[in-house]
């Protein structure tokens, strides 16, 4: 107890530092609050009268005008009002200035062109020399008094928020104006048929003829040529055109408004190579899994996640808080994170504040959810007939008499006293147990509110989110909820120094039944297959009947409560342009996670008419597992632009990264507890509980450097080198050390900038070839620090309610070190039609030369004492991404499609392993997730076929599956279960998904918007559990509607073999039970309308919309109650849901 108390005191002390840090970071905002509250007093930090005092430093060669303008905006805090046409037609820019006055730089920039500039307030207005400069907010003096009588007002937005600084010009005149910080404008024009031009950098220019209108509501669409120009990369930002690695950017708008509460659910299908799977639909326990480009290892293949530049987690994040996500896939993109990056890297950027008056956004969702597919049961009398048939096939007497079946058909007879005088009853009811305990409609609610604003030097964003979701069960405990807080602040401390702060807090709670939900003898097993003739209560009493009574277990067997608290801070101090392009940055991030898992089991008694039968959960018990995790990370970075002449650009990054992890787990178990203790899930006397303590700590440090070379925007080179050292210790494995060096190289060739190529193929806007090679490490802090728990968890399973035997091979005691993965990638990026059409393609190969695999033995190994061996695995695949985005006046539309394929193979193993029937991991020459089984060639139809075929079992009869005698030895078996001799077992496929794809399309027209999103898998095999898929494997397990189509002499081509009582040969893993889990699913559909209020003082816009999730699907599963999207099919899994949601989005 003393150890855990010290750890908790340490955590509490750290929380005080978080609070102090929070106060320090927001204090500058209070100091400038007067400047924000009254927008009329906000002035530009650089008034145009003092433009000569604004200094600009540029060094660009063959850069686009758009890139140069962005650099000037970043250095000056001013914004350009410039037509997109000017940007599209401008020549490349080469210039070098150091601390020159802004007007001088602008004169050089536009020298020799047909354009001039004017600096007014916060804007640099660019206009044709033949025209006079537009006057912000007022008409030009040359407009006559008569013309001023026709005044046009309005508001301009990007569809969500007002746009400031939009240039408004009356066509073929000198008359102009621009929008204020609220997006509103006022301009007198010649008459009611005048044509207005609207332009802003980064947006498509629009022309609108008034047609006697006095008020306009304008939406400007993103300029497709500038969209996604900048991409977040490892330790920095890079122009997309100059990237040599494989990176996909997912905009936050694609995650917004979808009725999902988990970021991984929102990411599904959005990027090629990004594979998101889920186990089930249970609220808060969906079991999401994220992979980039498939498996890199059999132990751990999840990507490294960084939030705002620091190691973090997306598990607790609110999708509404995300600005963008960068998915880094090859060695060129990920190698800077060397020892942790074999599974790829996900970089999450959260939303931040913007200068201007405070703006508030409110978003709420209310949805109804319905389970997608629940088994359809047969009537009780049908089940009785089928059970009699199964008994006959097994050589047993019938279970139900004709009189019993007749009584089941009579709705007036639900039970009768037995005639033997025992006081018991015969039950003849006909009901579906699901109807008693499940909801037809569950509800989900989401509320998000955010506020952002600030001055040019200080910006802030505050966001609050809350969601809750009901589950399937209407009895007992089945719901989840989460609350998120996000605070981001940007502070310009001086001309050189800036401070960025990101604070995140999340708290989640999930309540679920105390009895297990899925698997054999789980609640869904009872609900799906429990007899429908047996009532919930013994007639005339409040006593529960039978042990498979799901209602009793849901209501009185206890509950499980899982709570998690997550607190995180990212503090970034940056010094820019200290000396000739040198920038220094320090990033510090403390992180605290606490999880509390309480499982209280309460005794439930069962009866028949004569009295007590038995009990479950006897005696009452309580298990509590508390986990404290503390993480600190520090990054010290230096960026330097090395002077190298006009045609050469050299950028050097150097840095040091440090991570420190600490974990303390406390597991307490007690029996014979009172009702209050079970209600509170806490011990009245903690000393009476059996308590286990586990501790682990470690650190990872690395030195790294990256060099980028760019010759004339045509030839691109990048080199990375990381030297890493790991140290960690725990109860079982003290003082483990690892050291390694991780190099990478990449190159790119932008052929579109070659004169000969541009002349021969003028239709290409972009044509870039990429190639990369590198070495990456595979290490996971969480599994590494918890490896010591492996044997204890299996020795004391009652203390580890989360541990499952399926995950055993992920825990490798003391040896889960850096598996080294070598990655090679070749890629092609193309753009056409002024950036409207984009095509990206990649081919990759990954080679893991040091993968560790748990040994398989026959019979199955004792999981308490596993052994491990090393193997080599190769994986390879390709990606294709196509996107089209265009605007036609008020119509904006887009189409995106992505396709990804991945395969893997175990090349060589360095240890013995058995070739087992069923799912295998680590068979040489086969994929890691290989399914071995018998090849089923239909059913035996006659006894003579059985006699003439290889021996299967003594009970084989017509209606049984006929297995192929592969080795022609006259007997069906697995031989010696070795590679050399595995008898009649054959490879039946892999559970690894192939041909993962996503497709989305949509449009917006004036206030109307529509989008549709499909996601699917083209090829995947799953071995469904046969003993859960056939009735009467336990005599109480009832059939489903699909089992009506079973083999009989009159139905020889049935969907299922003959019925049988108990376990028989038909349940062996075979091609019959290996099913095609490919599918296509309508993931999301949205339809909305946005109202814009030009003259409103309070609300800028209001969007009302419908959003549906998982609305439709097509799959080829033989058993339609099994969802192919589930990563594992256990037969009794919590169903997925269809979601029908109404939403409101308001901007103030």
Taking the chain, what is the end-to-end CA distance rounded to the nearest angstrom? 52
Q: What token pair was written down for 324?
A: 């963008």
| Residue 206 burial by Cβ neighbours in a 10 Å radius (0-12, 13-18, 19+) | buried
Integer Cα distance of 815 and 736 in angstroms: 9
Classify residue 273 as left (phi > 0), alpha (psi -120 to 50) or beta: left
Confidence of residue 129 (pLDDT cuts 50, 70, 90): low
Q: Please report which helix (H) or strand (E) contains residue 491, including its range.
A: strand 479-492
Rounded to 10 deg, the angle between the 402-409 and 380-394 helix axes is: 160
Integer Cα distance of 504 and 485 in angstroms: 6
Compute the average pLDDT of residues 719-744: 82
Cβ(604)–Cβ(598) below 8 Å: no
Pairing verdict, β 544-545 and 558-575: unpaired
pLDDT digits (tens, 9 = 90+) for 351-373: 999 887 888 999 999 999 999 98
Cβ(981)–Cβ(891) below 8 Å: no
- Please give the CATH superfamily to which domain 48-219 belongs: Carboxypeptidase-like, regulatory domain (2.60.40.1120)
Residue 551, Cα to own-chain centre: how many angstroms? Answer: 34
pLDDT digits (tens, 9 = 90+) for 178-217: 887 678 888 889 888 899 998 886 677 888 888 888 888 8
For residue 842, CA distances in Å to 297, 713, 749, 768, 828 come to 21, 21, 15, 12, 6
DSSP E strand boundaries for 910-1040: 918-921, 929-933, 936-939, 961-963, 986-990, 994-1005, 1008-1019, 1021-1023
Q: Which of 340, 311, 344 is nearest to 725 (CA)?
A: 340
> Looking at the chain, which residues constitute the CATH 2.60.40.1120 domain(s)?
48-219
Q: What token pair was written down for 540?
A: 């005339």
Which residues touch 109 (CB under 8 Å, ≥6 apart)? Answer: 65, 68, 93, 95
Bigger pLDDT: 338 vs 617: 617
Integer Cα distance of 814 and 709 in angstroms: 41
Integer Cα distance of 440 and 860 in angstroms: 42
Q: What pLDDT is stored for residue 845 in this prediction?
A: 97
Compute the average pLDDT of residues 413-426: 91
Compute the average pLDDT of residues 469-492: 96
Q: Which of 445, 483, 480, 481 is nearest to 464 (CA)?
A: 483
Pick the CATH number of 230-304+322-347 from 2.170.130.10, 3.40.1160.10, 2.40.290.10, 3.20.20.70: 2.170.130.10
Q: What pLDDT is stored for residue 860 in this prediction?
A: 52
> Looking at the chain, which residues constitute the CATH 2.170.130.10 domain(s)?
230-304+322-347
Percent of the chain whose pLDDT exceeds 70: 86
The residue to which tokens 């080599």 are assigned: 872
Integer Cα distance of 785 and 662 in angstroms: 8
Confidence of residue 540 (pLDDT cuts 50, 70, 90): very high
Q: Reply yes or no on whether the pLDDT at 819 is more than 90.
A: no
pLDDT digits (tens, 9 = 90+) for 62-89: 677 888 888 898 888 888 878 766 776 6
For residue 298, CA distances in Å to 9, 31, 339, 802, 996 come to 38, 54, 17, 20, 20
Compute the average pLDDT of residues 609-616: 90
Cβ(397)–Cβ(391) below 8 Å: yes
pLDDT digits (tens, 9 = 90+) for 1006-1041: 889 999 999 999 999 999 989 889 999 988 899 999
Q: What token pair was written down for 801?
A: 């309610």
Q: What pLDDT is stored for residue 683 in this prediction?
A: 78
Q: What pLDDT is stored for residue 812 in this prediction?
A: 39
Q: What pLDDT is stored for residue 367 in this prediction?
A: 96
- Which of 114-118, 485-489, 693-697, 1042-1046 is predicted with the least confidence, judged by mean pLDDT? 114-118
Q: What pLDDT is stored for residue 733 in this prediction?
A: 57
Cβ atoms within 10 Å of 392's Cβ, excluding its own: 15
Q: What token pair was written down for 594?
A: 């606490």
- Where helices occur in 999-1079 by DSSP H, the ranges are 1026-1029
Q: What pLDDT is stored for residue 296 in this prediction?
A: 86
Which residues touch 385 (CB under 8 Å, ≥6 apart)? Answer: 400, 405
Q: What pLDDT is stored for residue 50 in this prediction?
A: 65
Q: In b/e form, how buried is each residue of 418-431, taking b as 16+ CB within 10 angstroms?
A: eeeeeebbebbbbb
Integer Cα distance of 486 and 489 in angstroms: 10
Confidence of residue 136 (pLDDT cuts 50, 70, 90): very low
Integer Cα distance of 743 and 745 in angstroms: 7
What is the SS3 string spanning 678-720? HHHCCCCCHHHCEEEEEEEEEEEEEEEEEEEEEECCCEEEEEE
């Amino acid at each position: 107890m003393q150890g855990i108390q010290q750890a908790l005191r340490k955590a509490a002390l750290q929380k005080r530092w978080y609070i102090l840090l929070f106060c320090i970071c927001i204090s500058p905002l209070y100091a400038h609050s007067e400047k924000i509250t009254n927008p009329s007093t906000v002035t530009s930090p650089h008034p145009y009268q003092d433009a000569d005092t604004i200094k600009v430093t540029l060094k660009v060669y063959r850069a686009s005008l758009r890139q140069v303008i962005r650099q000037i905006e970043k250095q000056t805090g001013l914004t350009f009002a410039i037509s997109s046409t000017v940007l599209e037609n401008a020549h490349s820019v080469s210039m070098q200035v150091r601390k020159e006055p802004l007007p001088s730089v602008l004169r050089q920039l536009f020298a020799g062109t047909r354009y001039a500039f004017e600096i007014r307030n916060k804007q640099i207005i660019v206009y044709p020399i033949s025209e006079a400069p537009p006057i912000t907010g007022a008409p030009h003096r040359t407009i006559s008094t008569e013309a001023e009588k026709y005044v046009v007002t309005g508001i301009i937005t990007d569809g969500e928020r007002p746009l400031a600084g939009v240039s408004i010009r009356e066509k073929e005149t000198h008359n102009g104006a621009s929008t204020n910080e609220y997006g509103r404008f006022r301009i007198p024009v010649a008459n009611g048929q005048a044509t207005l031009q609207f332009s802003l950098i980064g947006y498509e220019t629009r022309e609108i003829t008034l047609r006697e209108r006095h008020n306009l509501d304008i939406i400007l669409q993103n300029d497709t040529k500038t969209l996604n120009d900048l991409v977040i990369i490892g330790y920095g930002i890079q122009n997309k055109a100059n990237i040599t690695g494989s990176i996909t950017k997912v905009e936050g708008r694609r995650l917004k408004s979808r009725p999902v509460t988990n970021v991984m659910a929102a990411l599904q299908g959005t990027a090629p190579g990004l594979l998101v799977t889920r186990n089930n639909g249970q609220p808060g326990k969906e079991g999401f899994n994220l992979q980039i480009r498939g498996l890199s290892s059999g132990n751990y293949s999840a990507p490294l996640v960084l939030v705002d530049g620091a190691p973090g987690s997306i598990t607790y994040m609110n999708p509404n808080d995300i600005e963008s996500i960068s998915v880094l896939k090859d060695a060129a993109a990920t190698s800077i994170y060397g020892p942790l990056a074999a599974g790829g890297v996900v970089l999450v950027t959260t939303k931040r504040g913007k200068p201007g008056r405070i703006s508030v956004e409110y978003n709420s969702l209310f949805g109804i959810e319905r389970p997608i597919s629940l088994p359809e049961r047969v009537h009780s009398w049908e089940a009785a007939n089928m059970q009699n048939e199964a008994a006959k096939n097994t050589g047993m007497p019938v279970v139900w008499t004709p009189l019993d079946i007749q009584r089941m058909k009579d709705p007036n007879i639900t039970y009768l006293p037995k005639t033997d005088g025992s006081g018991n009853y015969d039950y003849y009811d006909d009901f579906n147990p699901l109807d008693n305990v499940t909801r037809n409609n569950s509800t989900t609610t989401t509320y998000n509110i955010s506020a952002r604003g600030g001055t040019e030097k200080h910006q802030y964003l505050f966001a609050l989110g809350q969601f809750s979701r009901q589950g399937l069960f209407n009895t007992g405990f089945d719901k989840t909820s989460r609350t998120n807080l996000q605070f981001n602040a940007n502070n310009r401390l001086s001309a050189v120094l800036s401070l960025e702060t990101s604070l995140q807090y999340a708290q989640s709670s999930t309540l679920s039944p105390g009895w297990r939900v899925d698997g054999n003898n789980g609640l869904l097993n009872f609900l799906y297959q429990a007899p429908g003739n047996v009532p919930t209560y013994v007639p005339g009493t409040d006593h529960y009947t039978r042990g498979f009574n799901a209602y009793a277990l849901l209501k009185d067997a206890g509950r499980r409560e899982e709570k998690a608290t997550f607190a995180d801070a990212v503090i970034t101090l940056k010094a820019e342009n200290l000396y000739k392009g040198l920038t220094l940055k320090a990033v510090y991030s403390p992180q605290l996670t606490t999880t509390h898992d309480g499982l209280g089991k309460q005794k439930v008694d069962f009866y028949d008419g004569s009295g007590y039968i038995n009990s479950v959960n006897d005696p009452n018990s309580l298990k509590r597992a508390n986990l404290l995790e503390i993480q600190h990370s520090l990054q010290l970075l230096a960026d330097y632009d090395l002077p190298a002449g006009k045609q050469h650009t050299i950028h050097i990054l150097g840095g040091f990264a440090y991570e420190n992890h600490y974990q303390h787990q406390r597991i307490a178990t007690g029996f014979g507890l009172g009702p209050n203790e079970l209600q509170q899930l806490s011990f009245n006397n903690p000393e009476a509980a059996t308590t286990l303590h586990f501790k682990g700590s470690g650190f990872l440090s690395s030195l790294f450097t990256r060099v980028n070379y760019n010759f004339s925007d045509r030839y691109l080179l990048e080199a990375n080198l990381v030297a890493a050292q790991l140290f960690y210790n725990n109860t079982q494995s003290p003082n483990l050390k690892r050291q390694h060096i991780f190099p990478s190289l990449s190159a790119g060739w932008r052929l579109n900038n070659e004169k000969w190529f541009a002349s021969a193929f003028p239709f290409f806007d972009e044509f870039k070839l990429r190639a990369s090679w590198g070495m990456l490490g595979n290490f996971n802090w969480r599994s590494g620090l918890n490896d010591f728990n492996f044997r204890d968890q299996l020795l004391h399973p009652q203390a580890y309610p989360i541990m499952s035997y399926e995950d055993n091979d992920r825990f490798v005691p003391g040896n889960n070190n850096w598996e080294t993965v070598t990655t090679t990638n070749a890629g092609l990026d193309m753009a056409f039609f002024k950036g409207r059409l984009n095509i990206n393609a990649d081919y990759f190969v990954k080679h893991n030369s040091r993968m560790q695999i748990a040994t398989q033995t026959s019979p199955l190994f004792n999981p308490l004492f596993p052994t491990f061996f090393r193997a080599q695995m190769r994986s390879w695949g390709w990606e294709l991404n196509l996107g089209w985005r265009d605007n036609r006046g008020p119509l904006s539309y887009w189409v995106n499609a992505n396709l990804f394929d991945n395969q893997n193979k175990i090349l060589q193993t360095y240890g013995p392993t058995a070739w087992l029937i069923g799912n295998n991991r680590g068979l040489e020459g086969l994929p890691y997730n290989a399914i071995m089984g018998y090849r089923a060639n239909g059913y035996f139809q006659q006894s003579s076929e059985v006699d003439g075929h290889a021996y299967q079992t003594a009970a084989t009869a017509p209606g049984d599956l006929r297995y192929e005698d592969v080795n022609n030895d006259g007997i069906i078996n697995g031989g010696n279960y070795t590679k050399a001799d595995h008898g009649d077992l054959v490879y039946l496929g892999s559970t690894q998904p192939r041909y993962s794809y996503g497709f989305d399309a949509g449009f917006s027209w004036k206030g109307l918007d529509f989008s549709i999103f499909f996601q699917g898998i083209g090829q995947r095999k799953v071995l469904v559990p046969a003993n859960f898929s056939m009735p009467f494997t336990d005599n109480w397990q009832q059939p489903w509607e699909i089992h009506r189509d079973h083999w009989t002499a009159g139905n020889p081509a049935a969907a299922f073999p003959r019925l049988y009582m108990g376990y028989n040969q038909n349940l062996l893993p075979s091609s019959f039970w290996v099913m095609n889990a490919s599918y296509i699913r309508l993931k999301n559909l949205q339809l909305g309308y946005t109202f814009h209020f030009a003259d409103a003082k309070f609300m800028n816009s209001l969007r009302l919309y419908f959003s549906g999730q998982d609305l439709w699907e097509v799959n080829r599963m033989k058993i339609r109650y099994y969802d192919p999207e589930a990563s594992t099919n256990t037969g009794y899994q919590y169903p997925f849901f269809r979601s029908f949601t109404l939403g409101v989005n308001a901007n103030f």
